[in-house]
Amino acid sequence: MPARNLEQWSQAPAGLKPGEYVDSRIYSDHGIFEEELQKIWKRTWVPVCHESELAKPYDFRTLTIAREPVIVVRGNDNRVRAFLNVCPHRGNMIERRPAGSFAAGSPSGNPRRMTCMFHAWQFDMKGNCVFISRQEEGYQDRLCPKDVGLRRLRCEVYFGGFVWVCLDDKMNKSVAEWAAGCLDCLKPALDEEPLEVFHYHKAIIPCNYKLWHDTNCEFYHDYLHYHNRITGFNDAYFGRKNSGYDNGHITVGSFEVQYDKYEGFESRANVSFPNLPPNHWYMIDMFPGANFNLRGSALRCDLMTPLAAGKVLIEFRGLGLKSDSPETRKARIEHHNTIWGPFGRNLHEDLLAVSAQGAAMDSRADSRNILHGRHEDETIHDENGMRHFYDEWGRWMDRSPSNPDLRYREGHNQPAA
Ligand code: FES
Ligand SMILES: [Fe+2]
């Protein structure tokens, strides 16, 4: 076949149906991006960190969900709670540090209180306003601290100790119900004993957040990863199932990785997670943008914060067992970093690929078709994971991913190209 002229290039390949390709504008259009924040990110459960990062009472972390500033804190009753990190007085962001502790005082903060630096209002770890500076002088008896508490957010600690937050009070599902069974393959391994974060780094990547989701949920791109080809690419690898769950979630089934096939690597069986067959490897991709990836001895978790149509903040965490001996922890860190560290055999390769996709999908570029049309019995090189994700995306957005100018139902009724 010759290369195509503009008109041919603009058409999806004959034989592919809507749903088997998406329009690149869903990755680059500013209006669609803003709509996603409102319609999806403000309404779903988002994992934001791990409880081991809030190990002691008064520990906190800050973050944003759909541009809303959020703070998670551990109270002196040991419970983790989440609040909008916004002062009820004049809307200042209360805490600016990414993480820390309120246990000790500071020049502009009382111990064991969240203190807004602007006019020194103070809040306890349950979000109650407990002090208004010069209250009687200014408000007489017209304003009571109990009426100006923080905005409380839905918060759960679930699945190996991850902290989940939802901005929508009307969310009618628990995290377990929202997960719809997709976490079950890893629950026995993660819930057996407490976990601990041993690796954290974050990166701002010049691509749409969904491109990072896509590369995590399809393994057809293992052609990019020499290490995966050498240690996988056998019958068990090609038999791994790619399964969809309600609410847009996906899992990739396990197989035994042949680490010793790669020069300089050896089996990781002796430090595999509890209740996991040695050297096995499961992956979970949750809608709209969280990934849990357990390669036997180390758990990786990617949490995404979309910043713009072409920009995503990704926080990468590595986790082991809290009970690890120093030797075991050292082995887990080495196993994590040789695959997922900056000089490892995997992560930067994915980052290169999605950055190149992002560069080609600049918001001013013409739209083009992105193909998700492989069918291989829902196994590892099938693209059913992406089709499942974008079908869910279409319902939340009421847009057809194959033609976002059409509503979801209209897009379904389009004939094959
Ligand atoms: S804005 Fe926070 S105390 Fe005034
Ligand atoms: Fe990859």
Q: Which of 6-10, 36-40, 166-170, 372-376 has the lowest mean pLDDT?
A: 6-10
Ligand with smallest separation from the Cα of 220: 2
Using the predicted structure, report yes or no on whether residue 374 has a pLDDT greater than 70.
Answer: yes
Pocket test for ligand 1, best of 92, 94, 96, 113 (most atoms within 8 A of CB): 92
Using the predicted structure, report yes or no on whether residue 269 has a pLDDT greater than 80.
Answer: yes
Give the residue from 86, 91, 95, 108 showing the smallest Cα distance to 59.
95
C-beta 87 within 6 A of ligand 1? yes
User: Phi and psi for 317 in degrees, rounded to 5?
Assistant: -120, 145
- Range 366-376 average pLDDT: 96
DSSP 41: I
- Range 59-70 average pLDDT: 98
Q: Write the residue with the smallest CA distance to atom 1 of ligand 1.
A: 90
| The pLDDT of residue 92 | 98
The dihedral region occupied by 41, where left means phi > 0, alpha psi between -120 and 50, and beta the remainder, is alpha
What is the Cα–Cα distance from 144 to 317, expressed in whole angstroms?
Answer: 42
Instruction: Name the band, by pLDDT with cuts 50, 70 and 90, for residue 413.
Output: low
| The pLDDT of residue 416 | 57
Q: How far is the CA of 94 from the centre of ligand 1 (A)?
A: 8
For residues 118 and 126, is the Cβ–Cβ distance under 8 A? no
Q: How far is the CA of 234 from the centre of ligand 1 (A)?
A: 61
Atom of ligand 1 nearest to the CA of 90: 1
Q: How far is the CA of 350 from the centre of ligand 2 (A)?
A: 5
DSSP lists the bridge partners of residue 59 as 101
What is the Cα–Cα distance from 100 to 339, expressed in whole angstroms?
Answer: 30
User: Which residue ranges form the domains of the chain, and what is each CATH number?
Assistant: 47-157 (2.102.10.10), 181-397 (3.90.380.10)
Q: Give the three-state DSSP class for 287.
A: coil
Q: How far is the CA of 161 from the centre of ligand 2 (A)?
A: 26
- Mean pLDDT (the chain) is 95
C-beta 117 within 6 A of ligand 1? no
Using the predicted structure, report yes or no on whether residue 415 has a pLDDT greater than 70.
Answer: no
- Range 185-201 average pLDDT: 97
Instruction: Name the band, by pLDDT with cuts 50, 70 and 90, for residue 335.
Output: very high
C-beta 118 within 6 A of ligand 1? yes
Burial class (CB in 10 A: 0-12, 13-18, 19+), 190: buried
C-beta 348 within 6 A of ligand 1? no
User: Phi and psi for 94 in degrees, rounded to 5?
Assistant: -70, -50
Contacts 24+ apart (CB under 8 A), 190-194: 190/159, 190/160, 190/161, 190/273, 190/294, 190/299, 191/159, 191/160, 192/273, 192/274, 192/275, 193/274, 193/321, 193/322, 193/323, 194/52, 194/161, 194/321, 194/322, 194/323
Q: How far is the CA of 76 from the centre of ligand 1 (A)?
A: 24
What is the Cα–Cα distance from 261 to 123, expressed in whole angstroms?
Answer: 56
Q: Write the residue with the smallest CA distance to atom 3 of ligand 1.
A: 119
C-beta 132 within 6 A of ligand 1? no
C-beta 138 within 6 A of ligand 1? no
DSSP 53: G
Tokens of 123: 């809040």
Atom of ligand 1 nearest to the CA of 116: 2
Q: What is the pLDDT of residues 211-254, one digit of tens each?
A: 999 999 999 999 999 888 989 889 999 999 999 999 999 999 99
Instruction: Name the band, by pLDDT with cuts 50, 70 and 90, for residue 138.
Output: very high
For residues 288 and 178, is the Cβ–Cβ distance under 8 A? no
C-beta 337 within 6 A of ligand 1? no
DSSP 4: P
Q: What is the pLDDT of residues 21-47, one digit of tens each?
A: 999 999 999 999 999 999 999 999 999
Q: How far is the CA of 116 from the centre of ligand 2 (A)?
A: 43
DSSP H stretches of helix in 154-252: 175-179, 187-191, 209-217, 226-231, 235-238
C-beta 89 within 6 A of ligand 1? yes
| The pLDDT of residue 108 | 85
Using the predicted structure, report yes or no on whether residue 412 has a pLDDT greater than 80.
Answer: no
- Range 103-118 average pLDDT: 94
Instruction: Name the band, by pLDDT with cuts 50, 70 and 90, for residue 372.
Output: very high
Looking at the chain, the whole-number percentage of residues with pLDDT higher than 70 is 99
| The pLDDT of residue 2 | 86
Atom of ligand 1 nearest to the CA of 87: 2
Using the predicted structure, report yes or no on whether residue 257 has a pLDDT greater than 80.
Answer: yes
Q: How far is the CA of 295 from the centre of ligand 2 (A)?
A: 13
DSSP 40: I
Q: How far is the CA of 354 from the centre of ligand 2 (A)?
A: 10
What is the Cα–Cα distance from 249 to 235, expressed in whole angstroms?
Answer: 25
For residues 397 and 55, is the Cβ–Cβ distance under 8 A? no
Using the predicted structure, report yes or no on whether residue 317 has a pLDDT greater than 90.
Answer: yes
| The pLDDT of residue 188 | 97
- Range 47-63 average pLDDT: 98
Q: How far is the CA of 231 from the centre of ligand 1 (A)?
A: 56
C-beta 133 within 6 A of ligand 1? no
Using the predicted structure, report yes or no on whether residue 383 has a pLDDT greater than 90.
Answer: yes
- Range 196-215 average pLDDT: 97
Using the predicted structure, report yes or no on whether residue 331 has a pLDDT greater than 90.
Answer: yes
